[in-house]
Structure 1
Amino acid sequence: MEILQVLGIEAHADTDHTVTDVQQLSAIIKLRVQWPDGGIEEIPYGINPKTEAQKAAFQKQVNKAWDEYSLRLRAWEVAYSVGEAALKDKPVYQEPKDLSHENLVRLAVRNWLDADNAVPAWVPPTPDEIRAAIPTVTARQLRHGLLNVSMDEADVEALIAAMPDEEDRKRASIDWRTANEYERLHPLVVQISASLGLTPELVDSLWDFYRTI
């Protein structure tokens, strides 16, 4: 894997956004990479702080990488001084092949930080962002779960039939009859829970229980 560009960093909750030591960084790194087959892809890559022994081994590799970089840079300066203009379109630095993917990512992040970029402060997700990440439940689990709040399929169909907007009513009916699984924030789930007077927090708890059925 060759790292073409660090696109940005999404800090983790346990990372101080003022951190400058990449060995202490816990974050999702957004990268543009090129694979050995030539394919280029944008990917997320997670890194976490290492143990002291791992940090020491990693630093040794980083030092070696920067030594190679310095030698390569000096060679380029000499080449330019004698008019080797053909080198202008070639990369100045390529990471040593013996570094692991994670170490390559950390080295790329170090370069990214040195280019006056900064790790953004961690922002807690909103309740709806958390709910959007909750795993789905199957149609079977949802129907069984409804029995635990004294409801059945006929009750849901009655609520759908009572929806005032015809377009909403038709779409809700299709989803109820044909969906194989439901997301926590599926419009049908939100509408029915609201019509029953269930709080979002209670539905969250029910959802966790439904997933065990």
Structure 2
Amino acid sequence: MTEINRETTIITKVHGFDPHPETDPTVTDMSKIVGACSYDVQHENGDTETLVTGLRPGENFGWSLKVIEAAQVWRNAGGSIPEWTPPTPDELRAAMPTLTARQFRLGLLQSGRSLAQVETAIAAIANPVEQETAQVEWEYATEFSRMHPLVVSLSVTLGFTPEEVDTLWQSSLQL
């Protein structure tokens, strides 16, 4: 986590605001907004970086108050806060934690699919480069993300619905 020296660090630009479900985008007082503010800072040594600070009324202290002041200037200059929209199923899937290869394989077994079925599915890939790529991924990857192309491809070939893979994923995290 970046150490912020409030005395010497300057907020140079506010990029925008990601709302929270509780956000009212019509509120103009940034101290009453819930969400995350993205902004650039310049440190005393001249280094610059982009930071994000979560804001919630009644829980903003220290550095957050400086962010609220900068966000208020941004808001007064026409910055708009979008309405919160719930994430799509694919966005939720992309945010799922990775599984180790062990967890993924055990999850497949517990869902009634065998490792031989996976090998057969990979062998059935028509394109030789894609087939070899899938084989390398299956044999050597140490972890898998929910939206990895091999996971998506195997789930279809092995007869899973996306929701079934989500369930497999969640239960496999405990293995």
TM-score using structure 1 length: 0.74
Alignment of structure 1 residues 8-47 onto 2, 5 Å:
8-47=16-55
What SS is found at the alignment partner of 2:164? Answer: helix
Alignment partners' CA distance in 1, 2:48 and 2:82: 26
TM-superposed CA distance for 1:19, in Å, is 1.3
Q: Does the CA-based 8 Å contact 2:16-2:38 persist in structure 1?
A: yes
TM-superposed CA distance for 1:116, in Å, is 1.8
TM-superposed CA distance for 1:39, in Å, is 0.7
Q: Are 1:182 and 2:144 counterparts?
A: yes
User: Unpaired segments of 5 or more residues in structure 2?
Assistant: 1-8
Q: Are 1:145 and 2:93 counterparts?
A: no
CA displacement 1:82-129 (0-9 Å, x = unmatched): xxxxxxxxxxxxxxxxxx210000001111111122211112221111
Identify the residue that residue 74 of structure 2 maps to in structure 1.
112
User: Unpaired segments of 5 or more residues in structure 1?
Assistant: 59-99
CA displacement 1:168-203 (0-9 Å, x = unmatched): 211111100110000001111111111122111111
Q: How many residues align?
A: 167
Determine which structure has the larger helix proportion and give its number: 1
Q: Of 95, 100, 113, which aligns to 1:133?
A: 95
TM-score using structure 2 length: 0.90
Larger radius of gyration: 1
* Letter paired with 1:2: I
Alignment partners' CA distance in 2, 1:151 and 1:124: 33
Alignment partners' CA distance in 2, 1:104 and 1:49: 14
What SS is found at the alignment partner of 1:112? Answer: helix
TM-superposed CA distance for 1:151, in Å, is 2.3
TM-superposed CA distance for 1:211, in Å, is 0.4
Identify if the C-alpha distance between structure 1 residues 197 and 155 changes in structure 2 by more than 3 Å, giving closer, same or farther. Answer: closer
TM-superposed CA distance for 1:167, in Å, is 2.1
Alignment partners' CA distance in 1, 2:14 and 2:121: 50
TM-superposed CA distance for 1:209, in Å, is 0.3
Identify the residue that residue 63 of structure 1 maps to in structure 2.
none
Q: Are 1:2 and 2:10 counterparts?
A: yes
Q: Does the CA-based 8 Å contact 2:33-2:57 persist in structure 1?
A: yes
Alignment of structure 1 residues 33-182 onto 2, 5 Å:
33-50=41-58, 100-182=62-144
Q: Does the CA-based 8 Å contact 2:122-2:134 persist in structure 1?
A: yes
What SS is found at the alignment partner of 1:202? Answer: helix
What SS is found at the alignment partner of 2:53? Answer: strand
What SS is found at the alignment partner of 1:41? Answer: strand
RMSD (Å) for aligned C-alpha atoms: 1.5
